[in-house]
Amino acid sequence: MAQKIVAGNWKMNLGKEEKMELLKGLKLSDIPNDVNAIVFPTSLYISDLAKSLTKIEVGVQNFSNQNNGAFTGEISISQIKSVGATIGLIGHSERRAYYQENNAFLKSKVDHAINEQFKFIFCCGEPLSIRESGQEFLFVKNQLQESLFHLSAEEMMNGIIAYEPVWAIGTGVTASSEQAEDMHKSIRSWIEEKYTVEVANSVSILYGGSCKPSNAKELFACPNVDGGLIGGASLNASDFHAIINSF
Ligand code: PGA
């Protein structure tokens, strides 16, 4: 069974004090035992958060594909682990669009994370022009084939994928539950084709893109939606809390 996950991607938001306010508002005791809640703060706050949060995992929004050395501005997995983060994002559409992270580069990050035994959420999703041309399934399958599907069945087992249609991210436009389920079901069937039904059923497939308390229940009720990667709504404690409790 795929694990239920709700992850909050804070992106480059929240000052030190705002972060404290948000933390105070999160009712940690109300997080259901069968839901894995994760926050992805700016890297500067990982250490603080990892010390103060017990029921929420702390992740990193970005990490280097190198171990150490002359890579100005980069942070290595061992440095990240040493301050308490346990998971990283790979392939978020903002990294793909603004920092030219292509499928081949993302494959190198996947391989590095696997080598370093660092858990990750692999993000995929099509831009609006691709959906309008009816190529969204081909496009997403290609992202997975070029960056992720070279892994062995063992490495793929219990993996986490976030489907985030670019046209829904930060726009207020959410994919309908039918659109989300269609893509999630396809992703699971591609994993089954490439690996086994057991592997396919072990992978958590999260939805991301303007997910909020008003639509989370309907999205999470879809058979192939195992949770969400939440941007804007994770910056508000009561919204994030409501989404975590939407299964
Ligand atoms: P959003 O962002 O919820 O603000 O649309 C989702 C994401 O980028 O992960």
pLDDT tens readout for residues 57-91: 999 999 999 999 999 999 999 999 999 999 999 99
Give the per-residue pLDDT at 27: 77
Tokens of 181: 């389920």
What distances in angstroms separate CA 159 from CA 16, 119, 129, 196, 226, one per listed residue? 32, 8, 29, 13, 12
Per-residue model confidence as pLDDT tens digits over 23-48:
888 877 789 999 999 999 999 999 99
Per-residue model confidence as pLDDT tens digits over 169-178:
989 888 999 9
Indicate whether 242 pLDDT > 80. yes
Per-residue model confidence as pLDDT tens digits over 191-217:
999 999 999 999 999 999 999 999 999
Average pLDDT, the chain: 96
Q: Let me know if 92 is a catalytic residue.
A: yes
Give the per-residue pLDDT at 2: 97
Q: Let me know if 101 is a catalytic residue.
A: no
4-65+73-244 folds as TIM Barrel (3.20.20)
Give the start-to-end residue ranges of the domains of the chain. 4-65+73-244
Give the per-residue pLDDT at 23: 85
Which numbered atom of ligand 1 lies nearest the CA of 234? 3
Give the per-residue pLDDT at 28: 79
How far apart are the C-alpha atoms of 175 and 58, rounded to whole Å? Answer: 27
Whether residue 231 has its Cβ less than 6 Å from ligand 1? yes
Residue listed under structure tokens 């793909």: 96
- 3-class SS at 38? strand
Residue 233 Cα to ligand 1 middle (Å):
8
Which numbered atom of ligand 1 lies nearest the CA of 212? 3
Whether residue 228 has its Cβ less than 6 Å from ligand 1? no
